[in-house]
Amino acid sequence: MTGNSVPSRDRVAEKLVARRGRSMLALGRLEARLAVRHPVTIVAVLSFVGLCAYALLIGGANSYPVLQDEDRWIQYPVMVLLGGAALVVGNLAVLRGHRHGTTAAQGVLVLPVPWRVGAHLLAVLLFGGLATVLVLIWAVVMSTAPGAAGRMNPYELMSGPMVVVLLGALGVLLGQLFRSPFVAPLTLLGLAVATGAYSSPDAPGNPWLGWFLPVAAQRDPMPLPTHLLARPAAWHLGYLAGVLVLVIVAALFRAGGRRVGAAAVVGLLLAVGGGVGQVTAPGDEVVADRILASRDPARQQTCVAVDQVRYCVFPDFVAWVDGWDAVLRAVLLRVPPAEARRPMAVRQRVWAHGYLHGGSVVTPRQQQLRAATWRAGDLAAGTPNTVTVGTRWGEGEYELGLAALVAYEVLAREGAGVFGTLCGARAVLVGWLAGQASPGAATALREMQARNVEGAHLGEPSFGSGVTLPAQELALVVSLLDRPVEVVAAAVLRSWAELSRIDTVTGRAGEILGVPVPSAPADAGCLA
């Protein structure tokens, strides 16, 4: 052997690898072209776009998106629709030769099988790119909504496309392991069910298990400010990247590729590191912040004054003040000016610690204790006459809740955390003031009457506090909402003193406001 022969052989090998690399890229491009026009891909993309359009155009909540929740919400449809398409189409591409009987002919062609599998894996990147573009469009649309609150986490946003690529690679691997086209859809179904189950705050089992699914479970009972989230999104992304590398390694190894040891080690390190990092409990500081935010949020909030009303909110949610103020003004417009001019505060609250899983069932005693805690905090913060808003906004139910709490506060001046049943003329007055505050509130009230024969609970839905209107008063309120608002408003202002008295009965309210009063059982346990 001469001294020149070794480099020469290396050079030949290098040229061979380069040639195969170029062939793999060409095959990957062809596979990507085939994938993008596959009916499953087209249906998945159209469904995803349709779902996003529906979410944007139908339902008011998306006029006030909480961005730190939206970046998580989008991951599930990304996984099921776009990831599902990548999984199924990638799988079918690998199975194509078996399904169409071309393996004998193409098995003796030059490009080795691992390079062909590499091309299938490259084609899967198309789905990742597609998901990235669609997710970014979604993120831009959401972030530029006038009522957008908070901010998106780039790691959360990147998780969706990463899951899509991961599922596509999984489809390639499954195609090599099983010759059946049914395995990939069944795998997708299993992932969708497991992830869906773990996305509920009331999901059984240990919450950290959800982090090992492609889409990490969303277990908060309500949107939280960003500083309370402490989601290990970056760790999860690292975990996903590690699993992706391992799936790619497995696919290449199965195809006969043997130079995958280093990649396997990298994948294992990423998967284990990310997996451990993502299930590490939030630090003490975050836990302390969550407890504080739940009990005494004033210390984490900023207050915005609009005339005599102070809106105290977590900084992420300042954009919502105008929406709250519009509802509040619609209530105050219908009360005597002297009442409307009295100072008031609207404070945003969250339940960031100690949420009761299995439903937010809270006993009256717990409600009283919580109200006392809230009122003490409000007093200390210099806002004794406070009503509560949560971290969801934009639908009639929430407008109705805020309007009812404002109306009750005008009448009773009790402060935050009110809980109980309203009776007599006061119930009618609060119900009407709330219902007329916005078209959404009126609709919500009517829907409540249609759904509930025993009355309606009006308040901040996230906490269960608020006032309950018995069925008789609710029926009266709904019939009042059918009358011209100015006529009712004039009668309310004329008879405010009598209507707002605690001892004025429902029948008398009906007489004053000119509507017949439906019969009803005797009131019991009314708020004093």
Cα–Cα distance measured from residue 98 to residue 100, given in angstroms and rounded to the nearest whole number: 6
For 217, phi then psi, to 5°, come to -65, 150
What count of residues does the chain have?
Answer: 528
Q: How far is the CB of 108 from other proteins (least distance, A)?
A: 5
Q: How far is the CB of 117 from other proteins (least distance, A)?
A: 13
Cα–Cα distance measured from residue 176 to residue 166, given in angstroms and rounded to the nearest whole number: 16
| 8 A C-beta contact, residue 245 and residue 238 | no
Complex with other proteins: residue 26 or 189, whichever CB lies closer: 26
Q: How far is the CB of 103 from other proteins (least distance, A)?
A: 8
Q: Which class for 186: exposed (0-12), middle (13-18), buried (19 or more C-beta within 10 A)?
A: exposed
Q: How far is the CB of 352 from other proteins (least distance, A)?
A: 53
Q: How far is the CB of 32 from other proteins (least distance, A)?
A: 13
Helical (H) or strand (E) element with 420: strand 419-421
Q: How far is the CB of 182 from other proteins (least distance, A)?
A: 20
Complex with other proteins: residue 97 or 273, whichever CB lies closer: 97
Q: How far is the CB of 149 from other proteins (least distance, A)?
A: 47
| 8 A C-beta contact, residue 99 and residue 181 | yes
Complex with other proteins: residue 31 or 460, whichever CB lies closer: 31
| Helices vs. strands in the chain: H and E counts, helices first | 23, 7
Contacting residues toward other proteins, per CB under 8 A: 19-20, 22-23, 26-27, 30, 34, 96, 100-102, 104-111, 116
Q: How many CB atoms lie within 10 A of CB 26?
A: 12
Complex with other proteins: residue 93 or 327, whichever CB lies closer: 93
Complex with other proteins: residue 92 or 428, whichever CB lies closer: 92
Complex with other proteins: residue 21 or 50, whichever CB lies closer: 21
Q: How far is the CB of 11 from other proteins (least distance, A)?
A: 15
Q: How far is the CB of 170 from other proteins (least distance, A)?
A: 23
Complex with other proteins: residue 102 or 308, whichever CB lies closer: 102
Cα–Cα distance measured from residue 224 to residue 215, given in angstroms and rounded to the nearest whole number: 19
Q: Which class for 59: exposed (0-12), middle (13-18), buried (19 or more C-beta within 10 A)?
A: exposed
Cα–Cα distance measured from residue 383 to residue 413, given in angstroms and rounded to the nearest whole number: 12
First-to-last CA distance in the chain?
Answer: 105
Complex with other proteins: residue 26 or 333, whichever CB lies closer: 26
**How is the beta sheet containing 302-306 ordered, strand by strand?**
302-306, 309-313, 344-348, 386-389
Q: Find all residues with CB under 8 Å of 288, minimum gap 6, and list them.
A: none
Count Cβ neighbours within 10 Å for each residue of 242-270 and write b for 16 or more, e otherwise.
bbbbbbbbbbbbbbebeebeebbeebeeb
Q: How far is the CB of 249 from other proteins (least distance, A)?
A: 22
Complex with other proteins: residue 90 or 510, whichever CB lies closer: 90
Complex with other proteins: residue 89 or 271, whichever CB lies closer: 89
Cα–Cα distance measured from residue 168 to residue 31, given in angstroms and rounded to the nearest whole number: 13
